[in-house]
Amino acid sequence: MPGSRAKLPELRRWWRFALVAPLLLFLLASFVAPVLMMLSRAVIDRDLERVWPDSAVALRQWDGEGLPPEALARTVAREIRTARQEGTLNQVANRLNYDMVGSRSLLYATADRLHAGAPANGIADLARIDPRWERPEIWAAMRHADGPLTSHYLLAALDRRLDADDRIVNVPAEQAVFTNIYLRTFKISAIVALLCIALGYPVAYLLASLPERKANPLLILILLPFWTSALVRTAAWAVFLQTNGVVNNALQAVGLIDAPLQLIYNRLGVYIAMTHVLLPFFILPLYGVMKGIPPTAMRAASSLGAPPVRAFLSVYLPQTLPGVAAGAIIVFTLALGYYVTPALVGGGADQMISASIAFYTNQSLNWGMAAALSLLLLLPLLLMIFAGRTMVRTVPA
């Protein structure tokens, strides 16, 4: 838009910023700050420190070799008792349980015994309450949680953990779920993007080759789904794809199938509904790019004797690739974060990473985990968008 600035009436410089400032302040407060604060929970770890301030200090001073000094064990025992009285023990218990399963019951049982007057003058006393106090795992779990920063959530989001010797190891196979869910999320998004390319490219090509008088009414057929919310369109598919829904009834009526097909609550339903929801996001930008391609190059190619297919492949197609890349990246990145559509038309094995984020936010209340999963969703996405921007810069205006 060169020149657009010169056309407007002169305005003092600070006025220009004064016009933008309210929105910037609003977005900083209502969007940027909340997102950054949320993401910081992926690495910030103050649950133990908040409840056991003295133990946290002592844990940070300990070298972490084998069993801790007796003084540290006494501090922990004292703070277990205080936390039980103040009703804050569950915060530490939950945090330690992420690192070592069984920590919660160990802490509660120990707290009860200490409350009942059991001596707590060192590791030996604690071990009489529960022999696990003589093993390094629980102490390592405490050391991993001593704050203020932790790698626990990010490692867990990659199906890894720190063992008692601070080595990064794989979590047990039955707990290793996230790698699979991330791969599934990427796979579904990539397939939806490919489906959009396959369905959308010919349509955009046809629209761009028509005179505007004919193309504009057809464009409405793309804008209509674009304007209808993703939820409504997903709901429509949920209605149609039912076992006794319209699609199955129609297929049975024309005799193509004998028994109803399972079209919903599986991967097929997710692909159908997500492609439908995202296809306009691919067609519209590609159509814009194709409209900007002068027809003269194709005409020159064919007047020089290139057969139509050859002219298309070597002259037209390369000019549209930036548009294809832009549209595909838009579709892929939007698909990565989809929540509503897979939740409604997918089965349990078709849920994407956003469903896990929702689970840790609402049900398991493990916010550190939700933040780490979000961070690992956001990073590849920002990379894709950055790559997309670079590519789109080459699009003809």
Q: In the window 377-396, what residues touch another protein (CB under 8 A)?
A: 377-378, 381-382, 385
Dmax of the chain from CA atoms?
99
DSSP string, 96-145: HHHHSTTHHHHHHHHHHHHHTT---SSHHHHHHH-GGGGSHHHHHHHHHT
Q: How far is the CB of 162 from another protein (least distance, A)?
A: 25
Strands 160-162 and 168-170: antiparallel
Is 280 an interacting residue with respect to another protein (CB under 8 A)?
Answer: yes
Amino acid identity at 154: L
Among 108, 186, 226, 271, binds another protein (CB under 8 A): 226
Cβ distance 286 to 324 under 8 Å? yes
Residues numbered 17-46 forming contacts with another protein, rule: CB under 8 A: 17-24, 26-27, 30-35, 37-39, 41
Question: Considering CB under 8 A, how many residues would be counted as binding another protein?
Answer: 104
Among 66, 117, 167, 227, binds another protein (CB under 8 A): 227
Is 91 an interacting residue with respect to another protein (CB under 8 A)?
Answer: no
Residues numbered 236-255 forming contacts with another protein, rule: CB under 8 A: 236-240, 242, 244-246, 249
Phi and psi, residue 149, nearest 5°: -115, 155
Token pair listed for 302: 């064919």
Mask for 297-336, x = binds another protein (CB under 8 A): -x---------x------------------------xx-x
Q: How far is the CB of 84 from another protein (least distance, A)?
A: 24
Is 178 an interacting residue with respect to another protein (CB under 8 A)?
Answer: no
Cβ distance 159 to 182 under 8 Å? no
Minimal CA–CA distance to 150: which of 220, 34, 56, 276?
Answer: 56
Mask for 133-172, x = binds another protein (CB under 8 A): ----------------------------------------
Measure CA 281 to chain center. Answer: 20
Among 109, 168, 176, 231, binds another protein (CB under 8 A): 231
Q: How far is the CB of 286 from another protein (least distance, A)?
A: 10
Place of tokens 């420190």: 49
Helices (H) and strands (E) in the chain, counts: 22, 2
Is 265 an interacting residue with respect to another protein (CB under 8 A)?
Answer: no
Q: How far is the CB of 284 from another protein (least distance, A)?
A: 5
Residue 176 has a CB neighbour count (10 Å cut-off) of 13
